[in-house]
A = this chain, B = another copy of it.
Amino acid sequence: MAEIRVTNPDWVRDVVDFDCLYPDDDARVRVAVALARENVLRATGGPFGAAVFEGRTGRLVGVGTNGVVRLNNSSAHAEIVALMTAQSKLESFTLRGDGMPAHELFSSCEPCAMCLGATLWSGVTRLVFAATREDATRLSFDEGPVFPESYTYLEQRGIAIERGRLRAEATAVFDLYLERGGPIYNGGRGS
């Protein structure tokens, strides 16, 4: 049977420090945004990055970069890759297992419909993102069927959500992507 490999680019180990603790939201969002920026600069994917942290300690548990084109995988969004990496590292299909500390997902951009669903299943207790749906849409990336009730649904299941944290730093990466002429890909329309 075919085996699918979901990987981050090798440069990630040079850009992200797994031994450091990230004390606050700004420091954590900046990891996600740095991954997005490097993904553009090194031409390894779309302008999106994400990271999973232990909420209390700020320990970095997993990271993800958009790898849709690189991996031939339309589900390889940054958030999905970060969540998979974290669960693989912790050898648990949930980040909210018995005895586990709370985990939080930080993304450089508002999650699309798929990634919002993945956030719900992952077991994180908090979602923080920088750029918004409007910013992504302005870049011509489709965000899919996400509605205000979608967020209510997550909140009712114990996931706190914070929007637009360091938004300008993330939209600067979108500008960089546009400047460099990066591909915009959506539901089946490659470019």
* Chain A residues with a Cβ under 8 A of chain B: 1-8, 10, 12-13, 62, 68-69, 71-75, 80-81, 83-85, 87-98, 112-118, 120-124, 142, 144-147, 149-150, 153-154, 157-159, 185-190
> In the complex, which of the residues B93, B114, B124 contacts A121, with contact meaning CB atoms closer than 8 Å?
B114
**Contacts A120-B113, A190-B94 given; does A8 touch B1 at CB 8 Å:** yes
With A83-B75, A149-B147 given, is the CB distance from A112 to B122 under 8 Å?
no
Q: Shortest distance in angstroms between A140's beta carbon and chain B's nearest beta carbon?
A: 14
Identify 11 residue pairs between A and B in the complex whose beta-carbon atoms are under 8 Å apart, listed by A's number. A1-B10, A72-B88, A72-B92, A73-B93, A75-B75, A75-B122, A94-B185, A97-B188, A113-B116, A123-B188, A157-B187
Chain B residue nearest to A64 in the complex (CB): B4
Known: A75-B80, A189-B94. A117 touches B120 (CB 8 A): no
Could you say which residues of chain B place their CB within 8 Å of the CB of A147?
145, 147, 149-150
The answer to whether A83 touches B88 (Cβ under 8 A) is no
> What's the nearest-Cβ distance from chain B to residue A115, in Å?
7
**In the docked arrangement, what's the CA distance between A71 and B185, Å?**
28
Given contacts A113-B116, A116-B113, contact A74 B94 (CB under 8 A): yes
Give which listed residue, B124, B145, B189, contacts A154 with CB less than 8 A: B145
CB-based nearest B residue for A94: B188
Question: In the bound complex, do residue A93 and residue B117 qualify as a contact, i.e. CB atoms below 8 Å apart?
Answer: no
Among B118, B146, B157, B189, contact of A75 (Cβ-Cβ < 8 Å):
B118
**In the docked arrangement, what's the CA distance between A145 and B73, Å?**
23
Contact across chains for A93 and B68 when beta carbons are under 8 A apart = yes
